[in-house]
Structure 1
Amino acid sequence: MAILVLFTASIANVGAQVATPAATPDATPVATPMATPVGSGYTPFRFEQTQTVTMMASVRSQEAGPPPGDWPWLQRVRDELNIDVQITWISDAGQYTPTLRTRAAANDLPDVFTTDLSTTSLLVQQGLAADWLPFRDFMPTYVRDRDVEALAPIGTFDGKQYSLVTKNADPYKGVIAIRQDWLENLGLEVPKTTDEFLAVAEAFTTQDPDGNGAADTYGFTGSVNFEGFIAGLGGFQGAFGDSAPWSVVDGKLVNRAVTEEHRQYLEFISRVQAAGVMDPDWVSQEALDSWAKWKAGRIGIVFEDWCALFCIQGYSEFKAANPTGSFVPIDPPVGPTGLSMAGERSNAGLQLGLSQRAVDEGRGEAVARLLEWINGPGYLATAHGEEGQGWERNAEGQILQIKEVSVLPYRQLTGWALIGSAEELVARYESVHSYDDGESIDVYSVLERSGAYPINDTTQWAAMPPAPAATYADFIRTQSEGEYAFMTGTRSFDEWDAYVETLNSIGLAEWTTQAEARARELGIIE
């Protein structure tokens, strides 16, 4: 809904200050196979008559493009299930939800699609979302392997499961990274505190760290998401105790948008903006634009998805523009009271919606059978691609993905199949790539480095209801515009109390009442 949510922790939990992902491992990491292989017990099934299923999906690798028309996966589904799958691909992840909602407004939803709780709530209000419960019997291994039953409360409205929520297959993906070569060029130490981060950002902006003689570098960048919230600076939130979507205070829920901790975070970002260390486009550009800035060598400190930065696609583009440049992961900043937290992770992962039109026209079973197949015999092809093209086995029998950029379009649907096992993580991320300047990036070590960050499990909050549909648009607009104004210094923090009163009057108070009822139902509060 808003900017990256982060939590508080003792500074004692923070590890070493620098970990350069450069060393080549002695051997491929060894993963213990799952006790019950994914899809175990799958019952083969094939429709007698050809079924058509439409899907909408965001590409996994945003710059690799969708699969080609002769993608072998489509033929596999035809051969094994007799289902003709037609996929609408969204290449810019930031445009996925707006596109889905636009299609909903035109009553043109695909049969099955990824969604989020707020969007699902709107679709339920419009009568466009269908109940998954009648179709779960057609997908027993999918339900079993992906914790669907345990996570069902998250997507259930009035006793109907409108969102099929599965366990999060991804490790914690956030990373705080800095240009090591710029630090060395300017004789600077790795920053630890928020004030030190700001000081280093000022040096990166004013002291020509790349030595090209031009004033074209900045400490930080950011972007604006589809709801108008500024993103890309969330690594600072934990330094101020900025909490989860909801916090329990004296037995009552408080939305993070109006907490004192969140206000302190916004105040710090206003300091960053006033210092002139931000990429000037940060308040208007989209995420892909901000990526282009650090790839071009214009940004010194990034709060990023670690694979977007360090996996071969992103880092190769960075090195092409900056042959001797180097990013390294560092610890999250420490705030004025000693708090530090990298981010949050929920065990609620992929959420799938089923259109009511698909059910009314008799395609609900075909959708369920397709998901069951993806969890069974279609797992490897969906998660990793074709054997020999997308993956291979090493001498120990461990599956390893082939990491060539040309392969990425064939794995764009991988998020629909991934299950998060240790074996799978090795397959996905065991990769060492060397560059012309001698730098080597061990991606799996970056995964482990990120996993050592202090983070918070926010799974319990995933079941909270979204903002009321009747006031959702006004509330989100007022909140995003308010945070934008506070961050950019166009609104004084003397007006914070008035801002909070406004949020409460246009839906937050009602939303909080609904969330408290849900929290009591789930035993989060008494």
Structure 2
Amino acid sequence: GLNIRKPAYYDALAFVKQIVDERLIDPNWLSYRKDDFRAAWKQGRFGIMREQNGALAMEANYKPFDMNFPEGQWMVIDPPMGPEGKSSVGVYSVTYRITAVSAKAAKEGKKEAIARLFEWMSSDEGYYLLGWGVEGVNYTFDKDGIPTAEGIPDPEMAYTQPKGRPFIQLANLVYRYTDAELKATFPTYKTANGRSQSALDFLRDFQTRAWTEDTGADTLPLPNDDLKRFYEQGVAEFITGRRVLNQANWKAFVADFDRLGGKAWEDEARAYAQENGLLL
């Protein structure tokens, strides 16, 4: 069933509220959007944070922090451990991509052209152009035939640098995620103080931590907008103290959640999971 029905969820919520009450988290945490958050950590606003490996340690993304704090260093740590000794970074699931053609494009006769585009993207020409840029401008090949930022006329135009990144905005549509590709995508570089760093090393470290399998969850029916808004707003109000967090108020919140469709949504999701073999 849903986590909000488990006693441990209430305990975790109380723990997060304690962090907020003791001002161990940035007071502006509710107002941060992704760009605001990433600008803030590069300015040294946080001592502990959660971030994606590429957004943290790709040379182009890390450079502003490196310039501000050349002796600074981010380290991966285990997530907090609960009273029962359990710890998890979060959930993971088997990922998949659905590529769709709009009805408007189909009506205008563009389906064949779009298909040709994807065929070209799967070719070597499309792969290297979208994934790495222009050979000799944004990348070169090393002795093993792997793209590298070494040896181009203007280093600032490398696919790893801010000026070169805009040319590969469609790279995620062609990546194959081989080891060689990952090493080229996340190359090792030197920070301002001469320390070797790679976003791939962070990724590998992340993967060794404790995660919770959640395969199939992203295929389940979604809650309606009103229910989603009620849940997110209610949790935020408990954490910020706008609503007193105690057992009575929490039970009332869960009851209202069910009244607005929470129980029906949960039952629908469970039925779907059972029908599709997602429950052990």
| TM over 0.5, shorter chain | yes
Write the letter of the residue equivalent to 1:379: Y
Write the letter of the residue equivalent to 2:28: D
Aligned to 1:515: 269
Q: Conserved in 2, the CA contact under 8 Å of 1:347 and 1:457?
A: no
Write the letter of the residue equivalent to 1:478: F
- 1:319-340 Cα distance to aligned partner (Å, 9 max, x none): 2222322222222222222111
Is 1:453 matched with 2:201?
A: no
The Cα RMSD (Å) is: 2.0
Aligned to 1:369: 116
> How do 1:50-89 residues align onto structure 2 when only pairs under 5 Å count?
none
Distance 1:367 1:523, change over 3 A: same
Write the letter of the residue equivalent to 1:382: L
- 1:183-239 Cα distance to aligned partner (Å, 9 max, x none): xxxxxxxxxxxxxxxxxxxxxxxxxxxxxxxxxxxxxxxxxxxxxxxxxxxxxxxxx
Aligned to 2:167: 410
Write the letter of the residue equivalent to 2:273: A
Aligned partners of 1:456 and 1:372: how far apart in 2? 36
Aligned to 2:155: none
Query: Of residues 142, 146, 156 in structure 2, which corresponds to 1:394?
Result: 142
Q: Conserved in 2, the CA contact under 8 Å of 1:310 and 1:441?
A: yes
Secondary structure of the 2:100 match is strand
Distance 1:493 1:520, change over 3 A: same
Aligned partners of 1:361 and 1:427: how far apart in 2? 39
Secondary structure of the 2:217 match is helix
Q: Conserved in 2, the CA contact under 8 Å of 1:432 and 1:443?
A: no
Q: Conserved in 1, the CA contact under 8 Å of 2:93 and 2:215?
A: yes
| Ranges in structure 2 where 5+ consecutive residues have no aligned partner | 150-157
Aligned to 2:256: 502
Larger RCO (CA within 8 A; separation ≥ 6): 1
Q: Conserved in 1, the CA contact under 8 Å of 2:88 and 2:210?
A: yes
> How do 1:462-473 residues align onto structure 2 when only pairs under 5 Å count?
462-467=218-223, 472-473=224-225
Aligned partners of 1:369 and 1:264: how far apart in 2? 54
Distance 1:456 1:424, change over 3 A: farther
Aligned to 1:423: 180
> How do 1:345-384 residues align onto structure 2 when only pairs under 5 Å count?
345-377=92-124, 378-384=126-132
Secondary structure of the 1:314 match is helix
Aligned partners of 1:346 and 1:369: how far apart in 2? 31
Aligned to 2:235: 483
Distance 1:414 1:260, change over 3 A: farther
Query: Of residues 308, 322, 330 in structure 1, which corresponds to 2:55?
Result: 308
> How do 1:2-401 residues align onto structure 2 when only pairs under 5 Å count?
254-377=1-124, 378-400=126-148
Write the letter of the residue equivalent to 1:440: S
Aligned length: 268
Q: CA deviation at 1:257?
A: 4.3
Structure ranking higher in helix proportion: 2
- 1:431-482 Cα distance to aligned partner (Å, 9 max, x none): 22231x3333233322221221222342322221222xxxx12111101110
Aligned partners of 1:281 and 1:416: how far apart in 2? 35
- 1:229-275 Cα distance to aligned partner (Å, 9 max, x none): xxxxxxxxxxxxxxxxxxxxxxxxx1234433333222111000100
- 1:29-80 Cα distance to aligned partner (Å, 9 max, x none): xxxxxxxxxxxxxxxxxxxxxxxxxxxxxxxxxxxxxxxxxxxxxxxxxxxx
Is 1:524 matched with 2:271?
A: no
Distance 1:353 1:489, change over 3 A: farther
Aligned partners of 2:278 and 2:96: how far apart in 1? 21
Aligned partners of 2:263 and 2:210: how far apart in 1? 32
Distance 1:339 1:525, change over 3 A: closer
Q: Conserved in 1, the CA contact under 8 Å of 2:66 and 2:191?
A: no
Aligned partners of 1:429 and 1:305: how far apart in 2? 13
Write the letter of the residue equivalent to 2:147: I
Distance 1:388 1:347, change over 3 A: farther
Write the letter of the residue equivalent to 2:173: W
- 1:312-365 Cα distance to aligned partner (Å, 9 max, x none): 122210122223222222222222221111223322243433322222222223
Distance 1:359 1:341, change over 3 A: same
Matched-pair identity in %: 28
Q: Conserved in 1, the CA contact under 8 Å of 2:131 and 2:174?
A: yes
Distance 1:323 1:370, change over 3 A: same
Secondary structure of the 1:406 match is coil
Distance 1:297 1:353, change over 3 A: same
Write the letter of the residue equivalent to 2:204: E
Distance 1:499 1:352, change over 3 A: farther
Larger deviation: 375-384 or 304-313? 375-384
Distance 1:482 1:295, change over 3 A: same
Q: Conserved in 1, the CA contact under 8 Å of 2:188 and 2:196?
A: no
- 1:68-107 Cα distance to aligned partner (Å, 9 max, x none): xxxxxxxxxxxxxxxxxxxxxxxxxxxxxxxxxxxxxxxx
Aligned partners of 2:66 and 2:144: how far apart in 1? 33
Normalised TM-score (structure 2): 0.87
Secondary structure of the 1:262 match is helix
Secondary structure of the 1:493 match is coil
Q: Conserved in 2, the CA contact under 8 Å of 1:350 and 1:416?
A: no
Normalised TM-score (structure 1): 0.48
Secondary structure of the 1:281 match is coil
Aligned to 1:230: none
Q: CA deviation at 1:366?
A: 2.4
Aligned partners of 2:206 and 2:272: how far apart in 1? 32
Distance 1:360 1:256, change over 3 A: farther
Q: Conserved in 2, the CA contact under 8 Å of 1:270 and 1:488?
A: yes
